[in-house]
Amino acid sequence: MAAIPETTTAVVLHAIDDIRLDTRPTPKPGPHDALIAVKSVGICGSDVHYWKHGRIGPFILNAPMVLGHESSGQVVAVGEKVTHLKAGDRVTMEPGIPCRSCNSCKIGRYNLCPDIIFMATPPYDGSLSNYYLHPADFCYKLPDHVSYDEGAMCEPLSVGVHAVTRAKVSVGQTVLITGAGPIGLMCLMAARAAGAGTTIITDIKQERLEVAKQLGATHAIDTTKLTDVVTHIHSLVGPQTIDTAIECSGATVAIHAAIKATRNGGVVCLVGMGTPEITLPLVDAAVREVDIIGVFRYANTYPKTLALIASGKVDVKPLITHHFNFRESVDAFNVARLGADKDNKMAIKVVITLP
């Protein structure tokens, strides 16, 4: 391995609309840490939101913060207590580090840890840096045939895997997914990998729906052309047929449709985040015993997600539409924000490649 430089360059958000390349000291591994030479980082909607709005709910940008949390790279150094990794290993990094001692952590739901440290969520730095220090037990080795880009995609795919796990999607079920953005498409692939028989996906953009069809969606519905989405869905698959609805848009109208389309005794899984408070048809859900469950990030998914990618059961590569180099980061964020490049090519997942 080459010598580790004393400084590292990072993509730092200083304030709204103010992204800079800053130089910082290269961190040194503690006993349980791994120092990673970062290779690929995907841009998430949350990164763009912090860039343009400076906050997401209670998480407010009050100091410069390194962006990025969908990441993979190569180990360059490890702490003295680390035994499962060594310099040269290629890894994907799970971005949320819990306290490991609270009740949520002890029952295995560490994504709900009140003291979790999550990359690129104020006040914690993300991974869009030449070198990033991470707890070694939240680094997972990439098989030789899995690329760094695919390793970075373990993060958004984990959201889909966690959603279908929480919703208990099983073989032969009929699943509705509302929203065909990156996370909706990841949920589609995760549902199919879990054995879903029929998959229906809705969106307001035809381009996204075309991608969904290429990924195996049974039905892809443009809701802008319909006056009654639920009736149309039932006309395709029959009433009392949707076992599970996975809501990925955060739009109130989509949440309403998800609840009303789901069969008696079915499940609605809320993944998308919209306004903090909305009005819902809860009586309709209650009298039909439709279970409404929430999803926040993920827990215990990275090994499963990596196995899905490594086995070829889920192919995330078609979702990576754009690559930018490290010094083109602002351009990359603009493409992710606009959802298309200057040639009007649709952007689904934008990846920054580091030297």
* 162 neighbors 270 (Cβ within 8 angstroms): no
- pLDDT tens string, the chain, 355 residues long: the values are 668 999 999 999 999 999 999 999 999 999 999 999 999 999 999 999 999 999 998 999 999 999 999 999 999 999 999 999 999 999 999 999 999 999 999 999 999 999 999 999 999 999 999 999 999 999 999 999 999 999 999 999 999 999 999 999 999 999 999 999 999 999 999 999 999 999 999 999 999 999 999 999 999 999 999 999 999 999 999 999 999 999 999 999 999 999 999 999 999 999 999 888 999 999 999 999 999 999 999 999 999 999 999 999 999 999 999 999 999 999 999 999 999 999 999 999 999 999 8
The CA distance from 180 to 86, in Å, is: 39
Q: Verify cis geometry, omega within 30 degrees of 0, for the bond prior to 239.
A: no
324 φ/ψ angles, rounded to the nearest 5 degrees:
-135, 150
In 3D, which of 144, 244, 235 has the Cα closest to residue 187? Answer: 244
At 244, list the tokens: 């599970």
Model's pTM, two decimal places? 0.96
Pairing relation of β-strands 320-325 and 349-353?
parallel
Beta-carbon count within 10 A of 42 CB: 27
- The helix (run of H) or strand (run of E) holding residue 114 is none
The CA distance from 142 to 72, in Å, is: 9
Cα 287 to chain centroid distance, Å, stands at 33
The class of domain 7-153+316-353 in CATH terms is alpha beta
In 3D, which of 196, 191, 195 has the Cα closest to residue 160? Answer: 191
User: How many Cα atoms sit within 13 Å of 283 on the Cβ side?
Assistant: 0
Report domain extents, the chain.
7-153+316-353, 159-294
Instruction: For domain 159-294, give the CATH superfamily.
Output: NAD(P)-binding Rossmann-like Domain (3.40.50.720)
Beta-strand ranges (E) seen in the chain are 7-15, 18-25, 33-42, 55-56, 59-60, 65-66, 70-78, 90-93, 96-97, 117-118, 131-135, 139-141, 174-178, 198-203, 219-222, 242-247, 262-270, 291-294, 320-325, 349-353
